[in-house]
Structure 1
Amino acid sequence: MTHPKRRHAAEQMALAAPPGALRVVMDPDPTGTPSVLRTALAAWDAIEDGATHQLVIQDDMLLSESFFERVHLAIDAMPDAALALFALWDSRNGAAIRFGAMAGARWIGAVNEYFPCVAIVLPRAVAEGFVRYGRERLGAWPDDILMNRYLRDGGVPRYVSVPNLTEHQDHGSISGNAFRGPRRSVCFLPEDRPGDEGRRLTGLTVLPFFKYGIARCAVRVAGPGPERWLHMDSEQYLRGLELPRSLFTPAGPEPDAPDVRGTWLTALAMGHEAARLGLDPDAPEAAGRTEVYAESVATIGAGGISNNSTEERIAERREALAAVAHRALAAGREFAERAAPRRPRRPAGLTVRGGASPLGEHLARRLADLTDDGAPDAVLDLTGLREGAPARELRIHVADDPRPYTLAVGEVYGPGCSRDTLIGRMVWDALRSQPVSVQGSPDAEVHPVYVDDLADAVLAVLRTRPTARSLTVADEKPVTLVDLANTVHAAVRPVPIRTDSSDAPDASAASDSELPNPVREFTEGIRPPGWSPATGHAKGLHAFSQWLAYEGTLLGVV
């Protein structure tokens, strides 16, 4: 699939393939609004009579030497499955591939984010169904997010190759993805030989990944209820495992360098989980997968800094960060192999009212992971945070104390939150490549509060038991609506910002109740002792956008 601007690259790829294996399919509306989905649907619709499967490749992919042989063998082994032949080095599927490399697997079960579509094989009936599905949703979501949702809803098995069979060559993005920086494979070995395509790894529940300079973990919720994942910082996850704090400092040179720390925390969590799964890449039987494992580990740090680094800078840091990753993997495995069983996740004595929700799960998990000695008996009431509640507040009822604590909050955002909020609507627009709309006066002030910071404020109250009963949880310096929109533009996707204040009330004359969140209740309130918000808006908005795209749409909170 290609665009007239890159027709030559597509034709060269087709000529290099076995005769008749590839044909060029052009964007049917090349002068229209750029749309990968529009061209993808034309490619899926071009399946030949008698074909059992359709392979679609974007024009800027480099194929491995054994590409077509491995694809045919994989189809024979998994005829009913969707097969992705590429995963980005900073993705959750990339994290799963690293565990697959340890296990000697040739394919991993895809995890819940997008399903990589730059090189993909679908069974005929699945491909034809996606054409119908996608045509009803043009202009809504990128093709890879739609594909994941379509395959998951249809119960189609989904796998990603280990190592990848393709590499992205970054010839420039027609669809507007250039802002992400270099986009490379988690593990591409051009000379990888075919065979053992039936060896698969599935059922992973912890995925440490380093993305946008932040070490993160996606953790599967055991249930009950639908399949879902919590999104958290790796440091929080590691604290919940009761790792000694001394292990959080990278061993070796440059321990304070952000890329070193991010790589270390990611690999530390990965090493701990590998030991739990019984995976040891240094075992004698691992000799045959050494190269695959080494390459997948070498891209942890490189992928983590790719969003704001040049190709030259990434190449310069790759070797040093790979060494950091190997040291951290060993440290994580060593701790897991000698550690005692972990304590329960939920702090002893803490009940969350309204906790049977994505927001409640994220708050409860953070409180559990950050509480070393158990919390006092208390009830955390989240009902005042629901949309439409008369006051945006959270109440804490501590045992043997008849008077609750009331925390006035601003605009809560982050994993677990809905798109139907002031911030949620902005992020939702940017995710779908729509202009971010500033509704109301651009100068109206907002007090964003990230989910993790809200949990930390609750923990501060439980630990200190302050005298004041009415507290405020918000940054002392509010942001304007237009500043917030600009941050969404920078952290989520660089879409246009649309302001229309012609019908908005004059901010200087409006009463507090007419503003998105009354400023007075925050500026005049007392904050929990020792607490201050620690999450920058850009970091929080990016994490929120990822959760909305991959989890929120499936859990019905959007």
Structure 2
Amino acid sequence: MTHPKRREAAERLASSAPPGALRVVMDPDPTGTPSVLRTALAAWSSIEDGATHQLVVQDDMVLSDSFFERARHAVEAMPGAALALFALWDSRNGAAVRFGALAGARWVGAVNEYFPCVSIILPRQVAEGFVAYGRSRLGGWPDDILMYRYLSEQGVPRYVSVPNLAEHQDGGSISGNAFRGPRRSVCFLPSDPAGHEDARLTGLTVVPFFKQGVAQCAVRVTGPGPQRWLHLDCERYLAGAGVPAARLRTAPAEAGGGVRGTWLTAFATGLVERRDGLRCTSGRATTSPDPAVVAEALATVGPGGISHARTEEQIDERRAELARTAREGLEAGQEAAEDLARPRRNRRASPSRPRRVGVMGAATPLGEHIVRGLADRGHAVTVLEPGGPGADGCAAVADLRDLQEEGDGETRLSLHVRTDGDGRPLPYPVTYTLYAGDLYGPGCSRHTLIGRMVWNALRSHPVVLGADPERPLHPLHVDDLTEALGLVLGAPPAAHVLTLADPEPCTAAGLAEAVRRAVRPVPVETDGAATTAPVRAQFRPDARLPGWSPATDLGRGLHSFAQWLAYEGIRLMPD
């Protein structure tokens, strides 16, 4: 699939394939608004009579020597599956490929993210269904996010190749993705031979990845209800997994260029791989990891994590150092998993038991993130539900029900503390009220002013400021709220009414610019008709939490919010 501007590249790619394997499909409206989805639908519509599957490749891809042989064997092994032949080096699916490499897999089950569409195979009926699905959604989400939604809704199995069968060439982006920096494969070996295409790894529950300079983890929620994932800070996840702080302090200090983030991501990968015993079996025998595949998959952790802010040349200068750091981090994580698995016979008892904390209103995406955050910070958390166990025995009860505000009203929570910081019962429960300002981040609604801005930018729509571009906002990220809540639980302060958001506001216009930088550089518009929108009260001059201030950078926080909305919120709050 191509555009007239890149027809020559598409024809070269088609001519490099076996005769008749590839043919060029052109954008049906090349002078219109750039749209990958429009051209993709034309490509999916062009399936030939008698074909059982359709392969669609974008014009800026390089194919491996065994591309068509591996693809054919994979279709025979998984005839009903969607097969992605490429994943980005900073993506969750790329992180899944790394686990596949460590397990000796040839294919790994896709995880909670867009489904990569730059080189993809669909069964005929699935392709035809996507055409109908996509035509009713033109002008909104990108094709890869729509593909993820469609395949998930239809229950189509989804796999990503290990190693990838295609590599991306960065020759400019017609669709406006050049701002993301170099976009390379997580693991591409041009001469990788075909074989063992039935060797698969599935069921991943933790996916560490390094993106936009931040080491992160996607963690699948185990429990009732639809499958869903939490978006966590990698270092916080490791602490909650029982990794001693002293071991994490051995991580290299950040000297620029993503060294620490690379090490933490690789450490978490090694920990999960060894702790969870990830293994891949084929129909005949257990496969063994290929050292060349493992080495290449690890070598892209660091480059992918810094690709948003580095040129190809700058990344090349750091590649060897970051590859070495990733190997060291992986081995350290594997060693940590082995240490955690050993019985500690002579371990001294903890001087104090963790205080049990009850949480009301936790049965929401936001509540799940806060509960997980408190648990990772060492609190023993009990979710309090109507008709369930009571709060007896809880040192404190946090009430999150007021946090479910979907408009532009004040967000707050109540905290009922029953014991003091040393665990001694109080004569009567002390009630704290914590004001969270403009709350945003994973689990938050898209129907607030910040949520609407991020939601629009994700779909390449203009960010709308509302009637007053100078309106003051006081953003507070979910991670900062959880950190503050944990501190109040551990050492209840003297003041009972606390303001958590930063007292220095940003304006709606300033926030819009931050969204453009963190999500997508879309236009900004002022909606003069939005005069009926609720007006937030001015910043509350209540007491501050002693020794604490919000720590999440606004750009990083907006990016984490965008990721959650695109991959999880989109299913919970559809258009």
- Report the TM-score when normalising by structure 1: 0.93
Flag as ranges the 4+ runs of structure 1 deviating above 4 A.
285-288, 340-343, 372-376, 388-391, 501-505
Task: Give the structure 1 partner of residue 24 of structure 2.
Answer: 24
Alignment of 1:138-287 (within 5 A): 138-250=138-250, 255-257=254-256, 259-279=258-278
Task: Give the structure 2 partner of residue 382 of structure 1.
Answer: 400
Q: Secondary structure at the match of 1:152?
A: helix
After superposing the two structures, state which structure 1 stretch, 394-403 or 160-169, moved more: 394-403
Counterpart of 1:525 (choices 536, 542, 553) is: 542
Contact 1:442 1:480 (8 Å CA) reproduced = yes
Deviations 1:483-539 (A, max 9, x none): 00000000000000112447759xxxxxxxx87432241xx1111122100001100
Alignment of 1:50-199 (within 5 A): 50-199=50-199
Contact 1:447 1:517 (8 Å CA) reproduced = no
Deviation at 1:459, TM superposition (A): 1.3
Deviation at 1:541, TM superposition (A): 0.3
- Report the TM-score when normalising by structure 2: 0.91
Deviations 1:178-198 (A, max 9, x none): 000000000000000000000
Deviations 1:328-357 (A, max 9, x none): 1111111111215899xx975212111000
Deviation at 1:422, TM superposition (A): 1.1
Contact 1:419 1:557 (8 Å CA) reproduced = no
Provide the rounded CA distance (Å) in 2 between the counterparts of 1:116 and 1:341: 40
Q: Name the aligned partner's letter for residue 331 of structure 1.
A: A
Task: Give the structure 2 partner of residue 511 of structure 1.
Answer: none
Task: Give the structure 1 partner of residue 370 of structure 2.
Answer: 363
Task: Give the structure 1 partner of residue 333 of structure 2.
Answer: 332
Task: Give the structure 2 partner of residue 295 of structure 1.
Answer: 296
Q: Name the aligned partner's letter for residue 496 of structure 1.
A: P
Q: Name the aligned partner's letter for residue 398 of structure 1.
A: V
* Unaligned segments of structure 2, at least 5 residues: 281-285, 344-348, 383-393, 419-425
Change in CA separation of 1:544 and 1:374 when aligned onto 2, cut-off 3 Å: closer
Provide the rounded CA distance (Å) in 2 between the counterparts of 1:348 and 1:249: 26
Q: Secondary structure at the match of 2:465?
A: strand
Counterpart of 1:542 (choices 559, 567, 572) is: 559
Provide the rounded CA distance (Å) in 2 between the counterparts of 1:249 and 1:22: 52
Q: Name the aligned partner's letter for residue 321 of structure 1.
A: L
Deviation at 1:393, TM superposition (A): 1.5
Deviations 1:103-152 (A, max 9, x none): 11000001110000000000101101110000000011000000011011
Contact 1:445 1:516 (8 Å CA) reproduced = no
Provide the rounded CA distance (Å) in 2 between the counterparts of 1:241 and 1:26: 50
Q: Secondary structure at the match of 1:231?
A: strand
Provide the rounded CA distance (Å) in 1 between the counterparts of 2:406 and 2:150: 32
Provide the rounded CA distance (Å) in 2 between the counterparts of 1:200 and 1:213: 30
Q: Secondary structure at the match of 1:411?
A: strand
Provide the rounded CA distance (Å) in 1 between the counterparts of 2:136 and 2:338: 51
Q: Name the aligned partner's letter for residue 396 of structure 2.
A: A
* Unaligned segments of structure 1, at least 5 residues: 506-513
Q: Secondary structure at the match of 1:439?
A: coil
Q: Secondary structure at the match of 2:50?
A: coil
Identity percentage of aligned residues: 62
Q: Secondary structure at the match of 1:410?
A: strand
Q: Name the aligned partner's letter for residue 121 of structure 2.
A: V
Deviation at 1:79, TM superposition (A): 0.6
Provide the rounded CA distance (Å) in 1 between the counterparts of 2:155 and 2:379: 41
Across the aligned residues of Structure 1 and Structure 2, the Cα RMSD in angstroms comes to: 2.2
Contact 2:477 2:552 (8 Å CA) reproduced = yes
Task: Give the structure 1 partner of residue 421 of structure 2.
Answer: none
